[in-house]
A = this chain, B = another copy of it.
């Protein structure tokens, strides 16, 4: 791999054949967070091939030269875990020279937050297993995936305040307690229940329904639904959560 000077003299710059640059590859890695009942998990695969065979890893693979990055992320996620239609977004690119043993490979990390119970990931292609891991109990990971995961978790915490990453992980009708638990779990904080509610009921995008919880052995909570249109309007006006 190390056939180029790290720094060339100026007069040499034009003498490098352009082909010399086209010897690299890039991959995508998907950080799929799952939230269900106040638990945050991340989807990992077990690698069935070298390098890092048998290690747990983020689902990811090399991108074809004629493939857009976003499509590649969805395609690879589907190849390895059979998941489809996951709303991913780019996080950051990791590019240390020696991060991949087979050559120069930089990787673009993507993240998503999903509801794991209505998905059924199963290993395919070269993945030998796929499993949800609690966010505070992660095994040793392949490559630099531990770092990628940590950066992505920070991004999740930040982005969930500024955009709608969360509405799909709640049931269509949810209680304010469920709403609060979601943010408490992901942000790793707790809030005063009465005050949290008072803050949140003023948000126009939480629609109070006529319906209430049933079959619980305590006072049933009223249910709310999410008005995505109102949320987008408010976001366009600069709204973001401040918890």
User: A67 at interface (Cβ–Cβ under 8 A)?
Assistant: yes
Cβ contact of A65, chosen from B10, B24, B26, B69, cutoff 8 A: B24
User: A198 at interface (Cβ–Cβ under 8 A)?
Assistant: no
**In the complex where A10-B124, A13-B126, A125-B10 touch, is A21 in contact with B64 (Cβ < 8 A)?**
yes
User: A30 at interface (Cβ–Cβ under 8 A)?
Assistant: no
A97/B68 in contact, CB under 8 A: yes
B93/A108 in contact, CB under 8 A: yes
A1/B108 in contact, CB under 8 A: no
Among A39-47, A98-106, A131-139, A142-150, the one that faces the other chain is: A98-106
User: A192 at interface (Cβ–Cβ under 8 A)?
Assistant: no
Q: What is the minimal beta-carbon distance from A45 to any residue of chain B, in angstroms?
A: 14
Interface residues of A in 1-60 (CB under 8 A from B): 1-7, 10, 13-14, 18, 20-26
- What are the residues of chain B within 8 A of A18 when measuring CB–CB? 102
Q: How far is B90's CA from A92's CA once the two chains are assembled, in angstroms?
A: 8
- What are the residues of chain B within 8 A of A10 when measuring CB–CB? 79, 124-125
User: A75 at interface (Cβ–Cβ under 8 A)?
Assistant: yes
Q: What is the minimal beta-carbon distance from A25 to any residue of chain B, in angstroms?
A: 4
A65/B23 in contact, CB under 8 A: yes
User: A118 at interface (Cβ–Cβ under 8 A)?
Assistant: no
Cβ contact of A13, chosen from B21, B92, B125, cutoff 8 A: B125
- What are the residues of chain B within 8 A of A93 when measuring CB–CB? 69, 90, 93, 108
Cβ contact of A24, chosen from B3, B26, B125, B126, cutoff 8 A: B26
Q: What is the minimal beta-carbon distance from A67 to any residue of chain B, in angstroms?
A: 6
**In the complex where A25-B21, A90-B92 touch, is A7 in contact with B75 (Cβ < 8 A)?**
yes
User: A197 at interface (Cβ–Cβ under 8 A)?
Assistant: no
**In the complex where A66-B1, A69-B106, A102-B18 touch, is A23 in contact with B26 (Cβ < 8 A)?**
no
Beta-carbon nearest neighbor of A242 in chain B = B242
List the interface of chain A (C-beta within 8 A of B).
Answer: 1-7, 10, 13-14, 18, 20-26, 62-69, 71, 75, 79, 90, 92-93, 95-97, 102-104, 106, 108, 124-126, 242
- Sample (15) of A-B pairs whose CB atoms are under 8 Å apart: A1-B65, A4-B67, A7-B75, A20-B65, A22-B23, A22-B103, A22-B104, A24-B65, A26-B106, A65-B97, A66-B97, A66-B104, A69-B93, A69-B106, A93-B93
